[in-house]
Amino acid sequence: MTKPLHAIKLLALTFCFSAICAVNLSFGQGKVLDKIIAKIGDEYILLSDIENQKLSMQQNGMDVSSASDCDIIEGLMYEKLLTNQAVLDSIEVKDEVVNQEMESRLRIIADQIGSIERLEEFYGKSVAQIKAEFFDVIKKRMQAERMKESITEGVDVTPKEVKEFYERLPKDSIPYINSKITVAQIVMYPKVTELDKKVAFKTITEALERVQSGERTFQTEAVLTSDDPGSKLEGGNLGWQSRGTMVPEFEAELFKLKKDEISPIFETQYGYHFLQLLNRKGDNYEVRHILVTPKVDKKALVKAKQRIDSIYAEIQKGTITFNEAANQFSEDENSSGNGGKIVNPYTGDYKWDLQNINEIDPQMSQFIGRLEPGDCAPPSLYDNFMEQKQGVRIVKLLSQTKPHLANLTEDYQLIQMAAMNEKKQKVIDAWVRRKISGNYVWMEEELVGRCEFKYEWVRKGS
């Protein structure tokens, strides 16, 4: 018998966007009609829900063979218990929030399949029909998630509990931690002048004229002219997006257009654009664009380099600390207020795996390999790919750990999080057992006899 998966892990599976088409289950030569196999309060589980869950797992790249039908059923039972209690406790989710979640999930599936049209073709339904059919499903799942959050609200762990949790861990269960670094930077950007903007505007005006006259196709012009590295090689195509994904100025122009129309030139924080609406279905749209970002004059870049060179010299002499210089002079909005330290968006702290930081800042590895903790790299050019800006910067390696087994000194936050999850799970376990006894729960006798569940949903032989 496969050991049941952790309840919290099973719940995560049920929150994936399930296969949207109805499923007929076939075993051997015969065909089994769908039927109710379990019920909690007013919520029920169908036989087809098991197969739908497997399809959902496959769509999300998970190993279906690692979970038995019993594992899946327990995850669904847990979700239904949460949903039923959410209704009883009047936990509500606003329709607009559900619609936003629906749009996000449909966009992910459309990207995987290839397009909104292919999604509609695959499921044999329009986007509007899919939304209408699965609105209540998504809403219930969001209610269940809020119910789960309310159960563990206020749960916290003390330093003593974290220490006790760590000391209870079997030695072979302590995770191995890769080398971590913390880095800081001082950044200066040369100022974009009106002349720089005029040059960029002239460039994009000429590009638009070539597209409108037919001298070049939109796709060719994007490859040759656009400054958007993520779309230029795709002919400017941004794929399917949903309302709210792009900056407001971009969508303001987009939603004025009819299919295949090209917009006039407009400006955003990234530069000058024009776009073509390829397709639109409600709040979902497919669009391509061309972006021209104002390029700073080389003289301005030289001036910024001279300014940061003088700051670097003061840091080296000890006239000013790196931390003080970052707070006083750095023009990087994300790090200037905290001594230049770069926050890891994956974890919310300042520690980075080198691989992760290189995904966001590909130039970082060239500094780290030749710096010792406490050292600063001399000023160099900086390409901010996220904001499409070029500047100059000083990088400082604040600390670097060696690969090691997790310990309370270097990895307290990680261990604290694990201790918190364990404590929350105990609260959830107690809540589930209490609610089972206070709700109507029914399950097919064959399942009760065959499955070894974590929770005693129905007493065997009762």
345 has pLDDT over 90: no
Does any domain span residue 334?
yes
Q: Helix 69-88 vs helix 7-14: angle between axes, to the nearest 10 degrees?
A: 80
Q: Are residues 107 and 52 in the same domain?
A: yes
Q: What is the pLDDT of residue 33?
A: 63
Backbone torsions φ then ψ of 225, nearest 5 degrees: -120, -35
Q: Are residues 319 and 304 in the same domain?
A: yes
Does any domain span residue 350?
yes
Q: For 127-147, what is the mean pLDDT?
A: 89
Q: Are residues 215 and 267 in the same domain?
A: yes
| Helix, strand, coil abundance in the chain, percent, nearest 5 | 50, 20, 35
Domain holding 315, by residue range, is 180-190+297-402
8 A C-beta contact, residue 267 and residue 214:
no
- CATH value at residue 378: 3.10.50.40
Q: Are residues 22 and 123 in the same domain?
A: yes
How many whole angstroms separate alpha carbon 289 and alpha carbon 221? 10
Does any domain span residue 224?
yes
Does any domain span residue 456?
no
406 has pLDDT over 70: yes
Q: What is the pLDDT of residue 267?
A: 95
Q: What is the pLDDT of residue 275?
A: 97
Q: Are residues 446 and 350 in the same domain?
A: no
Domain end, chosen from 292, 319, 341, is at 292
Q: What is the pLDDT of residue 264?
A: 97
What confidence tier does 298 reach under pLDDT thresholds 50, 70, 90? Answer: confident
Does any domain span residue 169?
no
Mean residue pLDDT across the chain: 86
Q: Helix 159-168 vs helix 412-437: angle between axes, to the nearest 10 degrees?
A: 90
Q: Which residue has the tokens 């021209």?
A: 292
Domain end, chosen from 292, 325, 343, is at 292
pLDDT: is 13 or 347 the higher one? 347
Domain end, chosen from 257, 292, 327, is at 292
Secondary structure of residue 338 in the 3-state scheme: helix
Q: What is the pLDDT of residue 67?
A: 67
Q: Are residues 436 and 386 in the same domain?
A: no
Q: Are residues 58 and 35 in the same domain?
A: yes
Q: Are residues 40 and 152 in the same domain?
A: yes
- Which two structure tokens, joined as six digits, stand for 229? 């590295």
Q: Are residues 11 and 123 in the same domain?
A: yes
Model pLDDT for residues 214-272, shown as the tens digit of each residue: 999 999 999 999 999 889 999 999 988 888 889 999 999 999 999 999 999 999 989 99
Does any domain span residue 240?
yes
Q: What is the pLDDT of residue 206?
A: 97
Does any domain span residue 11?
yes
Q: What is the pLDDT of residue 462?
A: 56
What confidence tier does 29 reach under pLDDT thresholds 50, 70, 90? Answer: very low
- CATH value at residue 98: 1.10.4030
| Weakest-pLDDT range from 115-124, 169-178, 378-387, 444-453 | 115-124
By the 10 Å C-beta count (0-12 exposed, 13-18 middle, 19+ buried), 338 is classed as middle
**Portion of the chain with pLDDT greater than 90, in percent:** 54
| Weakest-pLDDT range from 316-325, 328-337, 432-441 | 328-337
How many whole angstroms separate alpha carbon 258 and alpha carbon 146? 40
Number of domains in the chain: 3
Q: What is the pLDDT of residue 17?
A: 42
195 has pLDDT over 70: yes
Model pLDDT for residues 74-122, shown as the tens digit of each residue: 999 999 999 999 999 999 899 888 888 888 888 777 777 777 788 888 8
Q: Are residues 27 and 123 in the same domain?
A: yes
| pTM of the full structure | 0.63
pLDDT: is 304 or 245 the higher one? 304
Q: Are residues 63 and 127 in the same domain?
A: yes
Q: Are residues 210 and 356 in the same domain?
A: no
Pick from 5, 2, 406, 413: nearest CA to 170: 406
Does any domain span residue 409?
no
